[in-house]
């Protein structure tokens, strides 16, 4: 092995929380092999881009970044550039073709091969590790997390759903769940290390099934919440088909499981949902929401919406707006549809909604949701909420930023408090995305 700066690494993470969790796994794997972590890319001899392929603009962002790294590589001889995660897993040749500066590729099931790949590059080769490994859960690796307050804990990887628009089954392979006992062991460690928030992760987290005894996600969530009683427990992302009464009851019964569910709906029209291969109608989605609200009255709900999917008509779009008005989500993550090569939709459906129509519909969805979010947030003014302080606010060290258990962002006057503390905050103001206040 070479020494000095050439063995320091820096990881840029794009995409979802699962990718962030994977970066913590890669960090641990490299540290265990004697590499050291650089503070920033200027000090690194090895730069990894952990990439996301979910939408076209995610891929564009990475392409732009690659151009910057290409320049850096010319100036710094010996710098190694690896592309990891969802883009190379899904498009090997295209990824290698993006830039001659790329030295190696590693997919989401191949991170244990990183030290080997780096050595291969030093031996003059341009290797790729892109095999799916349906048994890989990275058990036994102790992730090196960037925060000592909040931790992501993957409990399952991959996805078996085959939603027509989605690359994930092609980038992350088949579902596999971590062992119940190994999740609990990890949570126990986090709890004794003083973590205040633990988020259980999976592309389809609530389809979790213990590979030993088949225990469900509801059982896992309940057990995790007991293992770390002083931490807030969250989970994401849920699929409507796997929302069970047992899961909803576990959330209601255990005080430290947060009263927030992120439940992507994608469209308010059953016709479009069928085209998307979502596996449920909009009536079934509404029934799940009714179940959740009857058991957890103060629950906060958020969702994902795609505007302009193949074949979407004006009446379908109106159904989506109607759904937003009826359900009144706290928050919606909204996207216009972009074809992902290789997916079911790319192979079988025409991307026939014109771009300007997609963008107009998306804007109408955003405007409506913003006004709903503003109203919901405005109602909190005057109340006292418990906030887990996460960090200093972006604007000033005299303010802290944190979240309520319902996942609402709160910026408040610091008054001697520190990140990691639970603070009762009087809410004095609200926008459509943030509450503001001061300690009660």
Give whichever of 48 and 54 is closer to ligand 5AD, judged by the CB atom.
Answer: 54
Determine, following the binding rule CB under 6 A, whether residue 335 of this chain makes contact with ligand 5AD. yes
b/e per residue 114-129 (b: at least 16 CB within 10 A): beebbebbeeeeebbb
**Residues 81-100 interacting with ligand SF4 (rule: CB under 6 A):** 85-86
Region of 61-69, 194-202, 205-213, 332-340 interacting with ligand 5AD (CB under 6 A):
332-340
Collect all residues with Cβ–Cβ distance below 8 Å to 311 and sequence separation of at least 6. 271, 272, 275, 349, 350, 352, 353
Residue 50 C-beta: closest distance to ligand SF4, Å:
8
Contact flags string 149-188 toward ligand 5AD, x per CB under 6 A: ----------------xx----------------------
> Exactly one of 53, 102, 243, 435 binds ligand SF4 (CB under 6 A); which one?
53
Determine, following the binding rule CB under 6 A, whether residue 172 of this chain makes contact with ligand SF4. yes
Determine, following the binding rule CB under 6 A, whether residue 337 of this chain makes contact with ligand 5AD. yes
Region of 11-19, 120-128, 231-239, 277-285 interacting with ligand SF4 (CB under 6 A):
11-19
Instruction: At 200, give phi and psi (nearest 5°).
Output: -80, 130
Paired residues of 13 in beta bridges: 50
- Residue 335 binds what, of ligand SF4, ligand 5AD, none (CB under 5 to 8 Å, by partner type)? ligand 5AD
Query: CB–CB of 329/372 below 8 Å?
Result: yes
DSSP 4-50: GGGGEEEEEE-SSHHHHHHHHHHHHHHHHTT-EE-SSGGG-SEEEEE
What is the total residue count of the chain?
440
The number of beta carbons lying within 10 Å of the beta carbon of residue 136 is 17
Region of 67-75, 163-171, 194-202, 232-240 interacting with ligand SF4 (CB under 6 A):
163-171
Determine, following the binding rule CB under 6 A, whether residue 387 of this chain makes contact with ligand SF4. no
Query: CB–CB of 137/211 below 8 Å?
Result: no
Label residue 347 exposed, middle or buried (CB < 10 Å: 0-12, 13-18, 19+): exposed
Residue 393 C-beta: closest distance to ligand 5AD, Å:
27
SS3 374: helix
CA–CA distance, 13 with 20 (Å, rounded to integer):
6
Determine, following the binding rule CB under 6 A, whether residue 62 of this chain makes contact with ligand SF4. no
Footprint on this chain of ligand 5AD (rule: CB under 6 A): 54-55, 165-166, 264, 266, 304, 306, 335, 337-338, 340
Residues making contact with ligand SF4 (CB under 6 A): 15-16, 18-19, 52-54, 85-86, 167-168, 171-172, 203
């Amino acid at each position: 092995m070479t020494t000095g700066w050439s063995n320091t690494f820096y990881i840029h993470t794009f995409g979802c929380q699962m990718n962030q969790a994977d970066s913590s796994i890669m960090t641990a794997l490299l540290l265990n092999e004697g590499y050291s972590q650089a503070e920033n890319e200027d000090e690194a001899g090895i730069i990894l881009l952990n990439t996301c392929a979910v939408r076209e603009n995610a891929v564009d962002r990475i392409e732009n970044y690659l151009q910057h790294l290409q320049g850096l590589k010319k100036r710094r001889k010996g710098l190694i550039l690896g592309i990891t995660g969802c883009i190379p897993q899904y498009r090997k040749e295209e990824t290698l073709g993006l830039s001659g500066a790329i030295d190696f590729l590693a997919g989401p099931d191949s991170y244990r091969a990183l030290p080997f790949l780096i050595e291969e590059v030093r031996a003059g080769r341009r290797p790729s590790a892109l095999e799916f490994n349906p048994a890989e859960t990275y058990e036994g690796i102790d992730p090196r997390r960037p925060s000592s307050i909040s931790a992501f804990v993957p409990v399952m990887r991959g996805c078996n759903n085959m939603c027509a628009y989605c690359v994930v089954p092609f980038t992350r392979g088949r579902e596999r769940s971590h062992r119940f006992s190994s999740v609990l062991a990890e949570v126990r460690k986090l709890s004794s290390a003083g973590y205040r928030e633990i988020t259980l992760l999976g592309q389809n987290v609530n389809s979790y099934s213990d590979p030993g005894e088949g225990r469900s996600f509801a059982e896992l969530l309940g057990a995790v919440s007991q293992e770390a009683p002083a931490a807030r427990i969250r989970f994401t992302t849920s699929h409507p088909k796997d929302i069970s009464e047992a899961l909803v009851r576990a959330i209601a019964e255990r005080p430290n499981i947060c009263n927030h569910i992120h439940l992507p709906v994608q469209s308010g029209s059953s016709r479009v949902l069928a085209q998307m291969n979502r596996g449920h109608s909009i009536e079934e989605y509404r029934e799940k929401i009714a179940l959740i609200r009857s058991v957890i009255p103060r629950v906060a709900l958020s969702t994902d919406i795609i505007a302009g999917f193949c074949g979407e008509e004006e009446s379908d779009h109106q159904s989506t707006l109607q759904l937003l008005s009826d359900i009144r989500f706290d928050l919606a993550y909204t996207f216009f549809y972009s074809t992902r090569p290789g997916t079911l939709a790319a192979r079988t459906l025409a991307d026939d909604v014109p771009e300007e129509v997609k963008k107009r519909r998306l804007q109408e969805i955003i405007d409506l949701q913003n006004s709903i979010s503003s109203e919901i947030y405005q109602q909190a003014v005057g109340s006292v909420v418990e906030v887990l302080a996460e960090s200093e606010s972006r604007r000033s060290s005299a303010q802290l930023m944190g979240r309520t258990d319902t996942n609402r962002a709160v910026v408040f006057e610091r008054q001697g408090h520190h990140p990691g503390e639970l603070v009762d905050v009087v809410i004095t103001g609200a926008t459509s995305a943030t509450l503001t206040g001061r300690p009660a």
